[in-house]
Structure formats: C-alpha cells, structure tokens
Structure 1
Amino acid sequence: MKRRANGLGTAYKLAGNRVRPWIARFPAGRDELGRRKWVTLGYYTTKSEAEKALALNLIQPVSEKHRITFSALYDEWSMIHYKRVSRQAKYVYTGSYKLLEPLHSRVFCELRTADFQRVIDRLDKSRTYKEIIKTFVGLLYRYAMENDICHKNYAQFIKIEKAERKEIEIFTDTEIKKLFDNDTIPGVDMTLMLIYSGFRIQEFLNLTVFSVDLKNGIVTGGLKTDSGKGRIVPIHPRVMKYWKKYVDNAKDNLFTRGGKVLKQQYFREKMYYPALAQLGISKKSPHKCRDTFATLLARNGADTLAIQQLMGHTNYAFTANVYTAKDKEYLTKNLNLI
C-alpha cells in the first residue's frame, strides 16, 4: 500500500474485473496493538477520481462511519430521533423506511438522488406519502451531515410529480343508506359519525365524554390548525343515537380498546375496512368521510363560511372565543341541510 508523505491517504487499484477498481483510503489513528487503522473512503472508476476524493477529504474530512449502510444509519438515527417524536410520527417514518428496502444494504454516502428517485417513483403511494418519504430521507441526511458521514443532502433534489387532479371520491347516497341499514356491524356507527361530523380520524379518536354536550347537541374538538382546534360541530340528528351510546358507555375517552384510546391503525384495519368489505362498499380511506361531509354540505346549499367553520379550514374566530347561541343556531341550520 503506497502512502503519501503529506498524510493525504492512499489510492490503489484492486485486482479483478471491477466497474470501480480504484479504492481510496485514509488513516484514522491506531488500534489497540498500535497498528494504523485505515478507513475506506470509496471506490472509483479512475485513479484521478480516487485521488480527488482524498484531496477533498482533507478539506471536508469524513468520520470513520463513512461507509455505514443505509440500514445501520437508520438504526442510529431512530434510537435518538424516536425519543422526541410522537407515536404517529414514529409509525410514519418506520413505514417510509420499509418502503425504501431496496436501498437498505447500500452504503449511505454512495447513494444519490437517482437511487431514491427510482424507488420512490415505483411506489404505488399518494403524492403526499411520497413527500413524507422525501422528508424522512432528508432527516437521515441531516443526521449524517451532523456526524460527518457525508457532506451533501441528495434528498433535496428528489422530485415528487404532481398527481393528476382527480374527482374526490366520497360515499354515495346509496352507500350511506347501506351503512345506516347495517349499523350493528362494528365500525359502521363510527363511520357514520365521521361522515356527519367532518372530524379528521385522529381528532375523532381523541374525543372524550367532555367533548360532547348532548344537551346542547354539540361536539367540541379538533387538532392541526388554530382554526381547527376547539371547533364546534353540531350533532346531526341522524347520528345523535350513536353519540349518546358512546357517551353513556365511556368514562373518559369515547373510543377505547382494552381501556386505552383506540388506535388509528386498529380502527382502519380491524373495523373500518372490514365493514366496507362486508357491505360491498368500495375501499375508501377514513379521510373520505371528511370529504363526504364537506361535499354534502356544499351540495345542499350550506354557506361557505359555515363549511369553513365546520371543517376548521378558516382563521375565523368566534367573538371573544366564546360560543354563542347565535353561532350554534347558524351552524346547526347549515348542518341540518344534509
């Protein structure tokens, strides 16, 4: 192994027929026996490329973990990052990692935009989910750069193509009637409550007995935005009996399993989707309940302002943040149009 006097490292050609036969290595201290340790910087097509990499390493040195694989980097990152994120975020990032399985065994610093682009483009996922994957990869690059594993974030160049605008799929009148006719099937009553309240699935599952005022016929809940938090949704007469049933049988959280808040994944996989399949209703995500709610309001002539308030899509705030009888009457009138 030929060493350079200036401590640059060494570049030499490997035996055999290789696409990238030139290896670049640099010294990284000594082991327990006093022998010099060498870290592989990378493999290159030509000698000049290898020497250029060594020269660059003097300016921007990388750590001994430079050759860490994608999966090993993820393991390191997740042990730190998952301590300070929500369970839902952890679930999303874990799913993103699994979808990038073709890259798991690759050396992370050798991956380029095209590698990620190729995998993401082949996924049968929504544009939103692909954006989440891009964000996830960016977080890995941030960790790698903070620890001198690499010096460039290739995630920033990933392109997520805009999907063609499709007509929003909602529950049809026939499907809604089928749900009402079969409301004893587990998950059906909750599906109807979602359709007639417009809550996002997590907002819905977070509701407690204190969120529901049966006497005045309103539910207070919401997350995500300032306008969405603490918004008030009148209870539609068609689903009042379901709200009353859950309030009467709950001590704190409305929707529970084993004494704990019902999880999104369980509701989707064990209740919601099986119920739709049993009734012969085409598979729709729980968010389609919210889309159906908005569509029914618009179709039946509800005021735009009322729709915004009920959906939590506006910065409109109730006077002095107090809910008045006039507000309730206005929202209830518009809600009952559907």
Structure 2
Amino acid sequence: MLILCPECEMQVSDKAVSCPHCGYPLRSKQSPPPKKKHMRLPNGFGQICEIRGHNLRKPFRVTLTVGRTNEGKPITKPLRPVAYFETYNEAYQALVKYHAHPFDLSNNMTMQDLYDVWITTRKGKVDSSTLARYRTAWSYSESIHNMLVRDVHIPDMLNCIEHGTITIGGEVRTPKNNSINSMKTLYNLLFDYAVSIEIVDKNYARLFNVESGYVRSPTCHMAYTSEELDLLWANVDKHPIIDMILIQCYSGWRPGEMCELLMKDIDLERGCMMGGLKTKAGINRTVPIHPRIFHLVKARYEKALAANSPYLFFSIRMKSNGPTRPKGELMQMRYSAFQEQLVEEVIPLLSLNPAHKGHDGRKTFVTMAKAAGIDDFAIKRIVGHYIKDLTERVYTERSLKWLKSEIEKIP
C-alpha cells in the first residue's frame, strides 16, 4: 500500500527503505538473514568448528575423538595431516575421506595399521610393479608387523633386513640385493608418513644406511641401429614381444608405461594412445600412433579384446603358482617380464647387441625424432619430459593433429 513521506508528503510504498523523491529514511535496513546452521554430525564422526575473530584464511578446524578421560570427557586430536580448511564443505569432505580409510591418531597404532593406511595413499600414484616391491618388502618385515609404531627403532628394522624371511613355493628366502634396498626405501616412506600424521616425531629409518651388495650399473641407454630395426621388422612374428619393442621405438613409452596401457585408453579411430607414469609431465599424456606401427597396435587391441583383457599387453601364466595363480591365468605384462624376455630370448634369437635393455626403444624414438627434425616441444610432449619454457608449457595448446604431423616425420 502507499503511504505519505513525512518529509516531502509524496506517496511512497510502505515497503520502501527510503523515499524515492527526497531520500528520507522510512525504516532501517533489513538485517542480513542469519547464517544457515549445519546439520549436527553423528556421534563419533568428528567435530568441525569455525574459529572466529582471528581473520584466518582457513578458519574451519577438524578434530577427532581418540579416547576419553577417567572422568568420561572426550580426548580430541586434530585431523592429520591437514586439520584446517577454508570452507565447511572442505572440512566435511576431509572427515568423510578419513572415515573411508580411518587410521589411529593416538600413539597406539601398530606398524601393520600404518602400512595399511599408507599403502592406500600410493595406489594410483605409482605403477603396479612398485606396489609389488612394497608388498614383498613388507612380507620380509613380519617381525615388526604387530609392534607399535612408537616402539620400532633402528635395531628392529635392521633385524628384518638381516634375518627376515618369506616362503615361496615351499622355499624359504631371505632378503638379497634389490629386496634389501626396497625394504630400506619402504621404511623411509612409512616413517615419513608417520611423522606427517604426528604418530612419531622422528624418522629413525633415515638415520641408518644398508649395504646390499648390489651395484647399479650406470644408466647408459643404447638406441637400436637401423640394421637392428630392420631385423626386428623382418622377424616381428618370431617372438611375442618383438612387436612391443617396435611399438616402443615408434612411440617413446617407458617400458613400465607401455605395460600399463589400458584398453580404454587406446583410440584407434583417432589414432592415439593415452597413458604415462612417473612424472607430472608424463602422466596422462597423449601419444599419436605412428603409421608404421598402427597395424601392430590394432592387432594387439583385437587380441586383448578377444581375451577380455583390460590391458593392451598381456600374457598367459604357463605354470601354476598356488591355488590363487592357476596355469592359463590371464596376466598383465610386467616390465620385469618384458626386460627378461628381451635380454634372454630376443637378443640371442636375433643376435642383437647384448647391452640392450628395456628403455632402449624409448631412446631409439628420441634419436629418430631428432634426426627427422621433429619439433623439440613435440618430442617432450610425446615422451613426457618437463618443458621449461613457460609460454609453451602453460599458454600453448597443441592439437593431436599437430602431434601427428610431427611424429609422422619419422620415416
């Protein structure tokens, strides 16, 4: 309805804050609506509180109840490794993630508990062969599985390294060479994680060294010569992995990346493959399929499709290894198996240089790419190397068509 303004006596709406004619205030501004209250969290789920009055960038703090005092009062600890968040929703999601994979925030966590939580953080970040090394190293460490994290010190880890055993096929094995290095690496990473979630305040694993007796040969990859490539092409049907070697030579995959290629990431219609591991620049990159290897990739794709394999490269288990690993089982091709077959079977079969290793196909690709005059940025994008140039790395979009035109410069 209309009312008269007390100042200018003109008609105005009774809902107006001020007179539109003279500006006279008619009523005070409405106060902002109260903040919506969040639903109460279930008992035992955790607490989210907003710290006010300190102008914090991340004011929402998450705590968890880890026990109770003798009087029945709750003992709370901040969520680890991060307890403060910018919004309530971020804090809530952190609680949900914690309850999906909970771990003990008190000092009563065992090494097995720590390993179970830590290993979930590695899945998807490292390849399956690395996870397998972690599992083997952990199997050798049985004597500390049920010990409290806070009670494990250098002598306990050294005891595992020197006297740990596992049984495979009725044979008792002790750690040797690579296994010793893997155990030391595993302990380093486990206690790094324990420090990050404040289970312990010192990483004792990094305070000692081990001598495994293993001497790593210098990294010196060797490209296949043109004569060796001709031999591989002429004998592509003589061994199951020769096509893999050629695919690697014309795509630049690391052998571990090649073994991890999934069927869903092979796009024959667009002529490209997606995959990659190890580095930020290498993960989830697109690699065009060179015309010379298209028929090889297609044949592998159809073979994997017929076998219902999720991986492009697979093998069949030739002998049984217990009830869970029967003969004839479909297996993903592993880097170790690829390397072993290359060195022990393909090289003697074709009289190739005995110094060749699994990465040499990758070096062959880069060597051929350089000789063909492929753009340096294209090479780095295809093989997954870091691009220092900011303009190219961040501000330049490169199409699949461009990558194809570059890779096809290789004859």
Asked if Structure 1 and Structure 2 have the same fold, meaning a TM-score greater than 0.5 normalized by the shorter chain, the answer is yes
Correspondence for 2:367 among 277, 282, 295: 295
The 5 Å alignment of 1:148-297 reads 152-158=202-208, 167-184=220-237, 185-251=239-305, 253-257=311-315, 262-264=332-334, 267-268=337-338, 271-279=341-349, 280-281=351-352, 282=354, 284-297=356-369
Identity of matched residues, %: 25
Change in 2 beyond 3 A, CA 1:284/1:250 = same
> Which of these two proteins has the greater Rg computed from alpha carbons?
2
User: Whole-Å Cα distance in 1 between the matches of residues 289 and 108 of structure 2?
Assistant: 61
* TM-score normalised to structure 1 length: 0.56
Structure 2 counterpart SS, 1:176: helix
Q: Is the 8 A contact 2:276 2:285 kept in 1?
A: yes
Aligned: 1:92 with 2:125: no
Aligned: 1:330 with 2:402: no
Q: Is the 8 A contact 1:109 1:150 kept in 2?
A: no
Structure 1 counterpart SS, 2:292: helix
Change in 2 beyond 3 A, CA 1:265/1:74 = farther
Change in 2 beyond 3 A, CA 1:151/1:224 = closer
Alpha-carbon shift at residue 193 of structure 1 (Å): 0.8
- Give the match for residue 57 of structure 2: none
Change in 2 beyond 3 A, CA 1:150/1:182 = same
Alpha-carbon shift at residue 198 of structure 1 (Å): 0.9
Change in 2 beyond 3 A, CA 1:235/1:318 = farther
Alpha-carbon shift at residue 309 of structure 1 (Å): 1.6
Aligned: 1:111 with 2:164: no
1:79-105, Cα deviation, whole Å (9 max, x unpaired): 55445543544312245568999x99x
The more displaced of 256-265 and 173-182 is 256-265
RMSD of aligned residue pairs (Cα, Å): 4.9
- Give the match for residue 135 of structure 1: 185
Q: Is the 8 A contact 2:276 2:283 kept in 1?
A: yes
Alpha-carbon shift at residue 189 of structure 1 (Å): 0.8
User: Counterpart amino acid of 2:272?
Assistant: I
User: Whole-Å Cα distance in 1 between the matches of residues 114 and 270 of structure 2?
Assistant: 49
User: Whole-Å Cα distance in 2 between the matches of residues 327 and 310 of structure 1?
Assistant: 8
- RCO higher in 1 or 2 (8 Å CA, sep ≥ 6)? 1
* TM-score normalised to structure 2 length: 0.47
In structure 2, list runs of 5 or more residues that go unmatched.
1-106, 146-150, 164-175, 317-328
Change in 2 beyond 3 A, CA 1:297/1:96 = farther
Alpha-carbon shift at residue 214 of structure 1 (Å): 3.8
Q: How many residues align?
A: 260
